[in-house]
Structure 1
Amino acid sequence: MTLSNHRSDDTVRAQTSLPALGVALVLLTVVTGLGVAMADTAIAGADRSPDERRVAAAIADRLVAADGPLAARSNVFNQSNVDGFDQTALERSAPSASEHAVSVELADEEIARSGTVHSGTRISRLVVVESRESRTLTPALTTTDAVTLPRRSAQATVTIDPPAGTTVWTVRANDRVVLHNRSGLSGSHTVSLVPYETTELRFQRAGRLESGNVTISYDAPRSTKETLVVTVDA
């Protein structure tokens, strides 16, 4: 092979290598760019997640607190408070909700939201939801002087309409005197009860009471266990 031919071969090989080198550089640039983008995303997610978790936990703790906007007591929600809860109540009770997108769900149903939540960080709390329904008893007091009400009733309305010749002068709730009139009780009276104990209402009387002479109305509690979920998308 002559010197000129050898130089020609080297030139061809060099020219052939140039496109491959260009492709390699392009691939290296793309891979590097993807790596940097993924790293930035991971860092951003790592930076955002603790803040979301902190805010979500703070809002959840506020909602389940004894003096929270939904509470009947600690970790127990009043259904009436739940029914009236909305974005305004959320932001008033948890000001951070006005600065972040927040969703509050109870029993898989959204009850309040501020902003638009796409994903975010979720914090869950187990709670009890209490609701009340009115019930009325017409006790048969012909053979007894007492009637028992269930626990967790905070008050009752006792209506006394005694027949002629009968006087009811005292009503006791367990050991407490809640109504008394020596001349005789009649009409409707609201009495306070101790909600943490079963209450026996006892009627002190002279004469006979028939069914319908006494009626007792009270709020009967109903409790269900539910899951509260607070989601924050910062």
Structure 2
Amino acid sequence: MYSAAQAVIALRDNSPLAALTAGGLAVFFCGLVAALAITLLVSAGSHADWAGSGTTVRINPSIAWAYGIGLLGGLVGSTCYLIFVTRGVVELPFAADGDGTVTRYLMVALLAISFVSLAALLRSREAGHLRFSVDGIEYADMFRRRSAHWDDVVKITDEANRRTRNPIVVGMRDGKQIVVPNADRYASSGAALYWMARHYWRHPEDREELADGRALDRLRKEQFEPDVGGDT
């Protein structure tokens, strides 16, 4: 709201460079808020499909759009701030410290984060997906892709070593983990998705369902029974 107000004031004062700077920062914050709102309020159940390669559940594409627009705004706003404001071309009351040093460092960090994240999003073209196939599990986010063969999985839990909301944690024989944060972003029920992962890990005889649509139907109907057995 503060950045948006500054953009309006800049337009009123016929300062397009200041408006571009403040407007870019306003778009950045609005994009993050929109992505959070979509995550919390919009069901992700319809963004899934199946094929011979397996069943894939995806983060709502609207989240990727919100991130992309927000990151573009952050890139524009931080770049304009560093070029125009720090050189005294325009004046904006963003600096809480006397000479604006802290704000300048924050803008440098925002520029780096926006550039790297936007490049990763353009490369991946999605916010993330989780795929279950006859052979194993694949998880991808904006930055990298990780996979595990079913035979290499030794446990699937909902307990992460770091603070993560509603995770699915896949432990492998080599000690590495695939941590899928916030499983609710991939299905209408993150709990059902978790029990789905455990079911196909512990029941290889049912994995053909992953390639013919039955697994997706079961997920949407939440037909996976909680498995309270051990991880062996």
Per the normalisation by structure 1, the TM-score is: 0.23
Greater relative CO (CA pairs within 8 A, separation 6+): 1
Look at both structures and tell me which one has the larger radius of gyration over its CA atoms: 1
Larger helix proportion, structure 1 or 2? 2
Per the normalisation by structure 2, the TM-score is: 0.23
